[in-house]
Structure 1
């Protein structure tokens, strides 16, 4: 098993990662009867995409002797209503100025790694993803 999800009532769940014991809670979003006080399930999916992109780039960067510390992903999730689902995820990656020295080939390798991360490969093809990249 990977995790356990426990319904706490009032449209809130508790998620436990079994390997680490880490616990997070999530809520239904305000536009779907929830309080929106925590990540919603679809927020977690969208955020997982950005996290996966940065993590896989970090793995690749380590093999290239590049430190990605300070790289940031800003995530925007856009819902569709019929049927209710994630319609689009925008991931804006910003690389810190400490990476100004990278050449175009190194940047392209990192960008391709982001675009082909496991979460990106797992999403339905109807879900639009928009990767925006800023190199400071």
Structure 2
């Protein structure tokens, strides 16, 4: 099933994005403030958290994921992302088996992560509360 994302260019490096499901004002991207590359990084962090939530519920426990922070570095050519570093924070401690489920989900199940060029370095740090 294909999905349509409508993007209206508003000039001066700014665009408004509407999706098939949003009822609110569109997401606004301004290439001088919040860039399309920032939007991709945000999508990656958001997808990872939702993926973890899905995988842990399927495994019978709650993830307690509360936040992700995505840092990216541009490649030497300046035209593409060269590396992502993602920290995902949890509100509770987990067993080793639960941590393995979470780690596997981040590496194998995230749609955005699986779409990003495999040549891009992806470092994911899972930060658990003690």
Q: TM-score range by the shorter chain?
A: 0.7 to 0.9
Is 2:49–2:65's contact at 8 Å kept on the other side of the alignment? no
Q: What's the TM-score, normalizing by structure 2?
A: 0.87
Structure 2: stretches of 5+ with no match in the other structure: none
Paired residue for 1:127, among 75, 100, 120?
A: 120
* Displaced runs of 4 or more, over 4 A: none
Q: What's the TM-score, normalizing by structure 1?
A: 0.83
Secondary structure class of the residue paired with 1:56: helix
Is 1:53–1:115's contact at 8 Å kept on the other side of the alignment? no
The alpha-carbon deviation at position 70 of structure 1 amounts to 4.6
Aligned residue in 1 for 2:11: 9
Report how many aligned residue pairs link the two structures: 125
Aligned residue in 1 for 2:83: 88
Secondary structure class of the residue paired with 1:2: coil
* Distance in 1 separating the partners of 2:41 and 2:11: 24
Aligned residue in 2 for 1:19: 21
Aligned residue in 2 for 1:72: 67
Is 2:89–2:128's contact at 8 Å kept on the other side of the alignment? yes
* Distance in 1 separating the partners of 2:127 and 2:13: 37
CA RMSD, aligned part only?
1.6
Is 1:61–1:68's contact at 8 Å kept on the other side of the alignment? yes
The alpha-carbon deviation at position 113 of structure 1 amounts to 0.2
The alpha-carbon deviation at position 81 of structure 1 amounts to 4.3
* Distance in 1 separating the partners of 2:10 and 2:77: 28
